[in-house]
A and B are shown apart, each in its own frame.
Chain A
Amino acid sequence: MSTESKLQALLDRGEFVVTAEIGPPKHSSPEGIKHHAEMMKDYVDATNITDCQTAIVRMSSIAAGIHVMHSGIEPIIQMTCRDRNRIAMQSDLLGAYSLGVRNVLCLSGDHQKFGNHPTAKNVYDIDSMQLINMVRQMRDDKVFLCGEEIKQAEPRFFIGAVANPFADPFEFRVVRLEKKINAGAQFIQTQCIFDMERFERFMEKVRERGLHERVHILAGVTPLKSWRAAKYMQTSVSGMIVPDEIVERLKKAEDPKKEGVEICIEQIKHIRNIPGVHGVHIMAIAWEEIVPEIVQRAGLHPRPKVQ
């Protein structure tokens, strides 16, 4: 199903796309995100705007996405199921579309226990699978979740979802990916890849089921600044696998930041050759300014234009 998304136009014509991530601020000034967007705009095809990631209160992803859009980048609004019920989500989808947002990434969201309001209620009225299906229904069937008709101007989003090849049970991850595609997902962004061997096995299974022909998979990468950051991800972030070699490589490096960038560039070059991967998603956590260098040195600059 085609939409007005530029990201979709690029993917559909077979480009290897580049997306990045911008985390909204913990205050109400848009200056920082505008700065990051202006810096990245010639280097990425779209940027994800996270939705209170790790359950920490930040500027809303839709509002931040509009600032990013006005700075010249197409936003991918992340929408989690943690904080809003189906009424609020559909309302926000209408609002986001009315403001010009064309991409939405549907996900469950980190549990509030890990954030700065651990005593909050969680919502999870609908789950990520149901959210994908709801966004698709609103677009293709022109109905709200309840079945009531959307009489005019239905929101026509390019629908994204996430997949984590490093979570368990490994074999079921590909099946669940298929379920997301059946629900309506058109592009997938993966969890940050450090264990390349496991990701390759995941992609092998994806290809066995022919899923790479039904969905655009963007492989997630994260440049690491230090061996401590690597160690932290290895031991304290669930659903993540960081091989010891990466920790060791950063530990031995004279300039760990430089080494982190080198590793990331190597990963991107490797990923580009994995059949069925249609792009890369760079999650430079609190290190947005490094994205242009990574894109440039990975040989992904200049970015293609959309007519």
Chain B
Amino acid sequence: MIIAQQKPIQEIAEMIKDCRKVLLVGCAGCVTVCLSGGEKETEILASELRIMRKLQDNPLETVTFVCTRQCDPEYITPLDNLVEDVDAIVSLACGVGVQYVAERFPTKWVLPAQNTNFIGGSIEHGIWEERCGLCGNCILHLTGGICPIIRCSKSILNGPCGGSQYGKCEVSKDTPCAWQLIYDRMQSLGKLDKLLEIQPPKDWSTARHGGPRRAVREDVIIG
């Protein structure tokens, strides 16, 4: 899922400082699961902003709504009835949701409440880690199910580099070396010989380097 974290409240307050009424829109997708932009977080953010503004003697009116998903046009349509008299819309979705809302309401000032961080999963309650680099050309079959594109700080395809020590990455003692993990895994699978093959330079055109991407499934297109 997409992992996002809320921006500092001061930053959000600054963005809407000239507004009298704002619509805060949460999302019931990924950001609900990672506890940053669901119903609960949307309500908390709205009341925090109201309290801040009340203390400044400049009251703020808020309206809240949570879309089933902000990355699907049909789930944004319920906002049509709520946006008319608001000065801004604050989206608690990932960057995709913010843009879908902005596209739906061309005359409205649409603002992000979150920083969209990465694609990953939870490790334990309250801790999430990155797992996929969205390169568009998966190589996990070559690396024992561990992605060096995103989990190695240098995205090395023939690692580990000389900075790997005690199982950790040179970038941080808290970061496991992906290539140590790959090595351990391949060894336990009896497939170390695979790591002797020189992996050629990757085709990055399927990643963001090839330009903005688009996926088409002709078999499910209606009409």
Interfacial residues, chain A to chain B (CB-CB below 8 A):
111-113, 118-122
Is A121 touching B211 in the complex (CB atoms < 8 A)? no
Interface size class of B (residues with CB under 8 A): under 10
- Pull 19 A–B residue pairs with CB atoms less than 8 Å apart, ordered by A: A111-B211, A112-B209, A113-B205, A113-B210, A113-B211, A118-B205, A118-B210, A119-B201, A119-B202, A119-B203, A119-B204, A119-B205, A120-B201, A120-B204, A120-B209, A121-B204, A121-B207, A121-B209, A122-B209
Type the 1/0 row for B57-89, where 1 means its CB is closer than 8 Å to any CB of A.
000000000000000000000000000000000
Which residues of B sit under 8 angstroms from A122, Cβ to Cβ?
209
Which residues of B sit under 8 angstroms from A121, Cβ to Cβ?
204, 207, 209
Which residues of A sit under 8 angstroms from B205, Cβ to Cβ?
113, 118-119
Complex-state Cα separation, A112 to B209, whole angstroms: 9
Report whether over half of chain B's contact residues are helix, strand or loop; otherwise say mixed: loop
Complex-state Cα separation, A111 to B202, whole angstroms: 17
Type the 1/0 row for B199-220, where 1 means its CB is closer than 8 Å to any CB of A.
0011111010111000000000
Which residues of A sit under 8 angstroms from B204, Cβ to Cβ?
119-121
Complex-state Cα separation, A121 to B204, whole angstroms: 6
Complex-state Cα separation, A113 to B209, whole angstroms: 9
Closest chain B CB from A231 CB (angstroms): 25
Nearest opposing residue in chain B for A120, CB measure: B204
Closest chain A CB from B203 CB (angstroms): 4
Closest chain B CB from A169 CB (angstroms): 17
Nearest opposing residue in chain A for B202, CB measure: A119
Nearest 7 interchain pairs by C-beta: A119-B203, A121-B204, A121-B209, A119-B205, A122-B209, A118-B205, A119-B204
Nearest opposing residue in chain B for A124, CB measure: B209
Complex-state Cα separation, A20 to B106, whole angstroms: 45
Which residues of A sit under 8 angstroms from B207, Cβ to Cβ?
121
Known: A111-B211, A112-B209, A120-B209. 4 other contacts (CB 8 A): A113-B205, A113-B210, A113-B211, A119-B205
Which residues of A sit under 8 angstroms from B201, Cβ to Cβ?
119-120
Closest chain B CB from A147 CB (angstroms): 22
Complex-state Cα separation, A118 to B203, whole angstroms: 8
Complex-state Cα separation, A120 to B204, whole angstroms: 6
Complex-state Cα separation, A112 to B201, whole angstroms: 15
Complex-state Cα separation, A251 to B13, whole angstroms: 63
Type the 1/0 row for B166-207, where 1 means its CB is closer than 8 Å to any CB of A.
000000000000000000000000000000000001111101
